[in-house]
Amino acid sequence: MLKKFFILLVALMTMSTSAGATEKILFIPHDDRPVSNQQPVEVVMQLGWEIISPPTEILTRPEELWRWLDENAPSANAAVVASDALLYGGLIPSRSHEIPADVLIARAEKFKTLREKNPDLQLYVFGSLMRTPSAGTPGDIEEPDYYGQYGAEIFQYTMLLDKQETDALTRAEEIQLDALKKNIPAEILDDWFARREKNFSATKTLLELANDGIINCFIIGRDDNAPLSQTHRENLRLTAYMSELEIPKTKAQSHVGIDEYAMLLLARAVNDLRDEFPTVYVQFNRGVGAETVPAYSDEPLKDSVRDEILIAGGLPISNPERADFVLLVNTDPEGETYHAHNSFPPQRLTRDERRTLRRNAEYFTSLVEEAVKKNLPVGVADVTFANGADVALMHHLRKKNLLFKLQAYGGWNTATNTTGFVLGTGILATKMSRAALDKLLARRYLDDWGYQTFVRTKIAAELSKRPDGLKIYLNLGEHEPAIVKRETELMRKFAEKNLPPFDFLDKVTVTNPWHRMFECAIHFSER
C-alpha cells in the first residue's frame, strides 16, 4: 500500500511540474521587419510561452545563426526557423546573393546534425521560391539593381515561357517572346536564372530532409506570384517532385505567400506541443468570394486558406457552431484587389468603386455582427485591398462597436499574408485574456488601418508634390526624423478618433525600421 502511495505521489508531482513548466520555442525570422519578427512573437508571448530569438545583428549572418541554433536547441521544445536566413542571410539577400551552390547545399544539410543532436526537437522550417515581381522600381533594395530597368520585361518574358510550356503561344506572343529575349541583356538573364536554379536545388534538398523526418514540417512560399510567371513555372517543377516523393501535406507544402509563415508555424508549434487540433470554419463575403484569385497569388483564396489552416495544425470544418475559430474573409464581390493605398501617389477610387465598397462593407458587417451575437470566436481577414484595410468596412465595424469583440483582425500586405496571420492569431487567441486580445487588435488596427490607409497615404500624397518625393518615399534618408514626427502626429489623431482610450495608446509612436514608407513599427506606451 505504501509503495502504491509513493508511486501516485511521484506521478502527481511530475504532472504538477510539467503543468507549471514554460514551453520554450526558438524562432529565427527571415528578416527583422515587425510583421516578420516582433509581431508574431508578441502573439505567442500573450500565452505565457517563452520565445527565444537570436540577436538582430546576426540575422544576416548564416554561420553565426547556425551556431546560435546549435547552442540553444538542446534547451528548447520546438524551433521555428527561416531557411532563407540560415542559407542566404535573409529573404532579401536570397534574391541577389552570390553564394556558391555547394555552400548552400552544405548549409541546408546542417539540419541533419541538428536533428542528430536533438532527436526530440519539433523542427518547423519555412523558406521561399524566388518571387517574380511584375515590374521593377529603380532604387528598390529587394531585387538586383538591373530589375529596376528590366523587371517588367523579365516578368513578361517568363510569363510567356510559362504559357508556352503549359498551353500554347499565339504567333504574336511568339514574336513578343523573341523580341524580349533579344532586348534583355544575356548576362542579366544568365545571372537571374542561375540564382533561381541554386535556390531551387537548395529547396529540393530541404524537401528531402522533410521527407526523411529530419524536418517535422517544411513550408515553401511563393511570394509576389502570378498565374503565369517564373515562380509559377518553378512551382510546377517543385510540386511534381513532391508528388514523386509522395510527401504528405502534413510534412511539406508549397504555398502562396511568405511573410505569414512565422505566425502560422508558431501556432503549429503551440498546437503540436499541446497535442491539440483546433477546428476552423471559414466564410467569404458575397460574390466571387472563395473563388477570388487575389493579386500576388496564382490560386483561389479557398485553396490557400484551407492550406493555411493545415499549416497551423488546425482542421477545417463546415459548422461554425462547433468551430474553435471562425474566419470571415472580406473579399470584393467581383474578386478584384484594390491598390488605392499601395501606390505612389495614392490612387483615388471612382464613385462607382466607393459605392460598391460601401454596400459590400454593410453586408459583411452584418455577417460579423451575427457571428458575434452568437458568441462565436470571430476573426476578420480584410483582403479587398492590397496592403491596407477596407476603410468602409472599418467605419461600419466601429459604428457597430464590433472592433474589440473580435478574436483577430488583419488587413496588411498580400491576401495570404493577411489570412495566414489572422488564422494563426485567432487559433491561439481562444486561450488569451480579453486584455491581451485588445492589445493585439489595437496593434493591427493602428498598423493595417491607421498607418497603411491613412498615415502612409497622406504623407505619400504630400511627398508626391515634390520632384524628389518618390525617392524619399523609398529611402527616407535625412528626411526620416521629420517624417517620423509627422507619422506619430497623424497616428495619435487616428487613435484618438477611432480607438478606445487604452492606457498603452497614450503617446503611441511610429518609426520606420527599414527607413522607407512601405512598413512601420508601432510603439506602445510603457507603464
CA 421 to chain centre: 6
- The answer for residues whose C-beta is within 8 angstroms of residue 76's C-beta and 6 or more apart is 24, 25, 26, 52, 121
Asked whether residue 433 is domain-assigned, the answer is no
The answer to whether residues 60 and 111 belong to one domain is yes
- The DSSP string of 351-368 is HHHHHHHHHHHHHHHHHH
Question: What percent of the chain clears pLDDT 70, i.e. is strictly above it?
Answer: 96
Which has the closest alpha carbon to 386: 418, 352, 409, 422? 418
pLDDT at 527 over 90: no
pLDDT tens digits along 38-50: 999 999 999 999 9
Cα 168 from Cα 154, distance rounded (Å): 19
Q: Do 51 and 121 have their domain in common?
A: yes
Distance CA 330, CA 409 (A): 11
List the domain range (segments joined by +) for residue 265.
23-133+197-275
Amino acid at 508: V
**What is the rounded average pLDDT for all residues in the chain?**
93
The string of pLDDT tens digits covering residues 511-526 is 999 999 999 999 998 7
Specify whether the CB–CB gap between 128 and 85 falls below 8 A. Answer: no
Q: How many domains does the chain have?
A: 3
Residue 9: inside a domain, yes or no?
no
| 92 and 127 co-located in one domain | yes
Report d(CA 29, CA 26) in Å as an integer.
10
Is a pLDDT exceeding 70 seen at residue 97? yes
pLDDT tens per residue across span 401-426: 999 999 999 999 999 999 999 999 99
Residue 409 inside a domain? The answer is yes
Query: Cα separations (Å) of 13 from 4, 75, 132, 137, 274?
Result: 14, 21, 56, 62, 19
- 515 vs 139, higher pLDDT: 515
pLDDT tens track for 259-296: 999 999 999 999 999 999 999 999 999 999 999 999 99
Residue 289: C-alpha distances to residues 105, 182, 286, 293, 337 (Å): 41, 41, 6, 9, 12
Q: Which of 275, 304, 337 represents a domain boundary (last residue)?
A: 275
Last residue of a domain, one of 275, 290, 321: 275
| DSSP-derived secondary structure for 224-280 | S--SSSHHHHHHHHHHHHHHHHT--TTTEEEEE-STTHHHHHHHHHHHHHHT---EE
Same domain, 297 and 259: no
CA distance 503 to 524: 9
Q: 252-256 and 122-129 as β-strands: parallel, antiparallel, unpaired?
A: unpaired
Q: Who's near 462: CB < 8 A, 6+ residues apart? A: none
For residue 216, count other CB atoms closer than 10 A to its CB.
Answer: 20
- Peptide bond between residue 345 and the one before it cis (omega within 30 degrees of 0): yes
Q: What pTM did the predictor assign?
A: 0.93
Q: Are residues 359 and 473 in the same domain?
A: no
